[in-house]
Amino acid sequence: MREYFTKKDTLLFAKAISSPLRLDILHYVFKNKGTSLNDLADTFNVSRAAITQHLKILTDADLIEIKPLFGNKEARKACYVKEDRFVISLVNQFNTDNFYEVDIPIGQYIAHNITPTCGIATTDNLIGKEDNSSYFDDPERMNASILWFNTGFIEYRLPNYLEKDDNILELQLTMEISSEAPGVAENWPSDISFYFNNHFIGKWTSPGDYGENQRGIYTPEWWQDNWNQYGLLKLLSINEHGTFIDGKQISDITISSLKLTKDVPFLFKMAVLDDAKHKGGFTLFGKNFGNYNQDIKFRVFYEKKKTLILKELTSFFLFFQSIFFNITI
Helix (H) or strand (E) holding 325: helix 305-328
Sequence-distant (≥ 6) Cβ neighbours of residue 123 within 8 angstroms: 145, 220, 288, 289
User: SS3 letters for 196-247?
Assistant: ECCEEEEEEEECCEECCCCCCCCCCCCCCCCCCCECEEEEEEEECCEEEECC
Please report the pLDDT score of residue 324 as a whole number.
46
Q: How many CA atoms lie within 13 A of 180 on its CB side?
A: 24
pLDDT tens for 112-152 read 999 999 999 999 999 999 999 999 999 999 999 999 999 99
Regarding whether 11 and 137 lie in a shared domain, the answer is no
Regarding whether 286 and 302 lie in a shared domain, the answer is yes
Spatial contact of 246 and 138, defined as CB atoms under 8 Å apart: no
Sequence-distant (≥ 6) Cβ neighbours of residue 312 within 8 angstroms: none
Regarding whether 134 and 80 lie in a shared domain, the answer is no
Domain CATH for 159: 2.60.120.260
Regarding whether 65 and 45 lie in a shared domain, the answer is yes
For residue 314, tell me if it sits in a domain.
no
Could you give the CA distance from residue 276 to residue 204 in angstroms, rounded to a whole number?
11
Regarding whether 250 and 112 lie in a shared domain, the answer is yes
For residue 139, tell me if it sits in a domain.
yes
Regarding whether 101 and 63 lie in a shared domain, the answer is no
Regarding whether 178 and 58 lie in a shared domain, the answer is no
- Amino acid (one-letter) located at 326: N
- Mean pLDDT of all residues in the chain? 89
Helix (H) or strand (E) holding 10: helix 7-16
The CA angle 309-314-317, to the nearest 5 degrees, is 125
Which of 49, 71, 86 terminates a domain? The answer is 86
Please report the pLDDT score of residue 86 as a whole number.
76
Domain CATH for 61: 1.10.10.10
Please report the pLDDT score of residue 5 as a whole number.
65
Please report the pLDDT score of residue 251 as a whole number.
98
For residue 129, tell me if it sits in a domain.
yes
Please report the pLDDT score of residue 271 as a whole number.
98
Q: How many CA atoms lie within 13 A of 51 on its CB side?
A: 24
Chain centroid offset of residue 116 CA:
26
Ramachandran sector of residue 244 (left: φ over 0; alpha: ψ -120 to 50; beta: rest) = beta
Which of 30, 55, 86 terminates a domain? The answer is 86
Could you give the CA distance from residue 181 to residue 4 in angstroms, rounded to a whole number?
33
For residue 323, tell me if it sits in a domain.
no
DSSP codes joined into one string, 277-315: SS---EEEE-TTSTTS---EEEEEEEEEHHHHHHHHHHH
Regarding whether 252 and 138 lie in a shared domain, the answer is yes
Please report the pLDDT score of residue 92 as a whole number.
46
User: Strands, DSSP E only, in 125-198?
Assistant: 146-149, 152-158, 166-178, 190-196
Angle between helices 37-44 and 48-60 (to 10 degrees): 110
For residue 301, tell me if it sits in a domain.
yes
Structural domains in the chain (count): 2
For residue 204, tell me if it sits in a domain.
yes
What are the pLDDT tens digits along the chain (329 aa)? Answer: 667 667 788 889 999 999 999 999 999 998 898 899 999 999 999 999 999 999 999 999 989 999 887 654 555 789 999 877 777 766 545 455 688 999 999 999 999 999 999 999 999 999 999 999 999 999 999 999 999 999 999 999 999 999 998 999 999 999 999 999 988 999 999 999 999 999 999 999 999 999 998 899 899 999 999 999 999 999 999 999 999 999 899 999 999 999 999 999 999 999 999 999 999 999 999 999 999 889 999 999 999 876 554 555 555 555 555 554 454 44
Containing structural domain, residue 30: 2-86
Of 165, 200, 194, 196, residue with least CA distance to 265: 196
pTM of the predicted model as reported, rounded to 2 decimal places = 0.76
For residue 18, tell me if it sits in a domain.
yes
DSSP state letter for 97:
T
For residue 58, tell me if it sits in a domain.
yes
